[in-house]
Amino acid sequence: MSMHNADTQAVRGRFLDIQHTASQPEDIASHIRYIEDGLLLSNAGKIVWFGAWADVDPKLLDGVAVAHYPDQLITPGFIDTHIHFPQTEMMGAYGEQLLSWLNNYTFPTEIKFKDKAYADQIASFFVNELLKNGTTTALVFCTVHPESVDALFEVAASKNMRLIAGKVMMDRHAPETLCDTAQSSYTESKQLIEKWHEKGRALYAITPRFAPTSTDAQLSLAGQLKQEFPSVYVHTHLSENKDEIAWVKSLFPHHAGYLDVYHQYGLTGERSVFAHCVHLNEDEWKCMHDTDSAIAFCPTSNLFLGSGLFPLRKAWQHGVKVGLGTDVGAGTSFSQLQTLGEAYKVQQLQGDTLSAFEAFYHATLGGAKSLDLEDCLGNFNVGKEADFIVIDLNATPLQQLRQSHASTIEDHLFALFTLGDDRNIVATYVNGQKVYSSSLTT
């Protein structure tokens, strides 16, 4: 009799992942695991066997159909640690830096998400876009409207995705129709936590937009919520733009700096993720480290809004966790491949570099660690959740030419990050099931 039930899935092919988290970028290469011909077996969404095809006991596969991808590369699904689903329709809004971009483009767009039917439509488009780009987990901003959170979690649940999201808390310096109050933001966030947090694969994030759009009273209640529900996330923006930083200083004169505002309200910690952190000072780097808070590095957004160059080396030096964020709609692509290509250039402009293996780390296991999810996501270790993608290295004639001149896996990866995009994603598996395929026949 077969030991399997209908929930068993088997995938064979070339596998690449990173076996351990790293405290220095130089260590990553020795943690790379490349299996030229391997098998991954999952049951009920969890990896139950992973290794070389040659080591497979045939009894393991008794009665199980094997999906075989002999010509592709199979990696863990990408993790996007900062993105705004309601901003999908306003990518590429022209000509502004952060604060005027928010007022002129972002707030008018976000007002539309009061309408649940509209939020449903964009949530569905957004999740499909994540999956076709190989992103299997994301930490997502919704809008101030609780309906927008329901819309997103409902679509994610229909795909069994591990997704973290929350309602924006914002009670000043935005159009009145887009503001809540300190009290309503607390009550609505609490209701959403009770409704969604740890239901299926959903996780909730307390989401004050950024310090300038919250009163002290709101930030204080956000901190109280975090104390009441310690396993939820905190997700916000920090130190993105110089005018923004000066504004925070004038709004919160009694705080030592921008991060100190969040810190004093109890919003730092191992499940706190701060997008950008382009211009942190030494005290702030130390506080990020001491509180085990994480950074979402968003290169396409930082370039698009002219915010600045994120000093990735400093994060390693200070032992601060970093994940990769697309930050759509200030970011210009849903693709983690394109985002890594820009991350490399951001390092080059600072006289630093970014190896292919380090880049791969940030998009997979490092991203999982920055979300405190390295025990369930980020590589193919048995017991982890079966979220993975099938990548075609040769999606265009140009890529084919370039890849034919690559000899090492590192070089193949680097060319993929430089030239690749959603055309390279052949299939996306979430919780062991194929939820996206680039061709209807595979």
**Is the C-alpha dihedral spanning 330, 336, 342, 343 positive or negative?**
positive
Cβ proximity to ligand GUN: between 61 and 83 the closer is: 83
Assess 98 for contact with ligand GUN (CB under 6 A).
yes
257 to 296: interface string for Zn ion, x by CB under 5 A: ------------------x---------------------
Q: How far is the CB of 433 from Zn ion (least distance, A)?
A: 30
Assess 102 for contact with ligand GUN (CB under 6 A).
yes
Cβ proximity to ligand GUN: between 247 and 360 the closer is: 247
Cβ proximity to Zn ion: between 327 and 392 the closer is: 327
H or E stretch at 286? helix 282-290
User: 414 Cβ partners below 8 Å, 6+ apart?
Assistant: 356, 359, 406
> Residue 395 is encoded by which pair of tokens?
């999606």
- Residue 138 has phi, psi (to 5 degrees) of -145, 150
Cβ proximity to Zn ion: between 168 and 395 the closer is: 168
Total chain residues near ligand GUN (CB under 6 A)? 11
Assess 421 for contact with Zn ion (CB under 5 A).
no
Query: Which string of DSSP letters, residue by residue, matches 297-341?
Result: E-HHHHHHTT-----HHHHHHTT-EEEE---TTTSS-S-HHHHHH
- Parallel/antiparallel/unpaired status of strands 78-84 and 66-76: unpaired
Residue from 12, 84, 271, 402 binding ligand GUN (CB under 6 A): 84
Query: Which range, of 71-79, 98-106, 176-184, 199-207, touches ligand GUN by CB under 6 A?
Result: 98-106
In whole angstroms, what is the distance from residue 438 CA to residue 15 CA? 19
**Residue 72 interacts with, from ligand GUN, Zn ion, none (CB under 5-8 Å by kind):** none
Assess 384 for contact with ligand GUN (CB under 6 A).
no
**Is the C-alpha dihedral spanning 251, 269, 360, 414 positive or negative?**
positive
> Residue 372 is encoded by which pair of tokens?
């405190």
> Could you count the other beta carbons within 10 Å of the beta carbon of residue 140?
29
Residue from 47, 225, 267, 330 binding ligand GUN (CB under 6 A): 330
Assess 301 for contact with ligand GUN (CB under 6 A).
yes
Query: Which string of DSSP letters, residue by residue, matches 43-87?
Result: ETTEEEEEEEGGG--GGGGTT--EEEEEEEEEEEPEEEEEEEGGG
- Per DSSP, the three-state class of 146 is helix
Assess 106 for contact with ligand GUN (CB under 6 A).
yes
Residue from 150, 188, 327, 392 binding Zn ion (CB under 5 A): 327
Assess 80 for contact with Zn ion (CB under 5 A).
no
Cβ proximity to ligand GUN: between 162 and 235 the closer is: 235
Q: How far is the CB of 240 from ligand GUN (least distance, A)?
A: 5
> Residue 172 is encoded by which pair of tokens?
């000043």
Cβ proximity to ligand GUN: between 305 and 430 the closer is: 305
> Residue 102 is encoded by which pair of tokens?
């928010």
Q: How far is the CB of 335 from Zn ion (least distance, A)?
A: 17
Contacts to Zn ion by CB under 5 A: 275, 327
Residues of this chain that interact with ligand GUN (CB under 6 A) are 84, 98, 102, 106, 209-210, 237, 240, 301, 327, 330
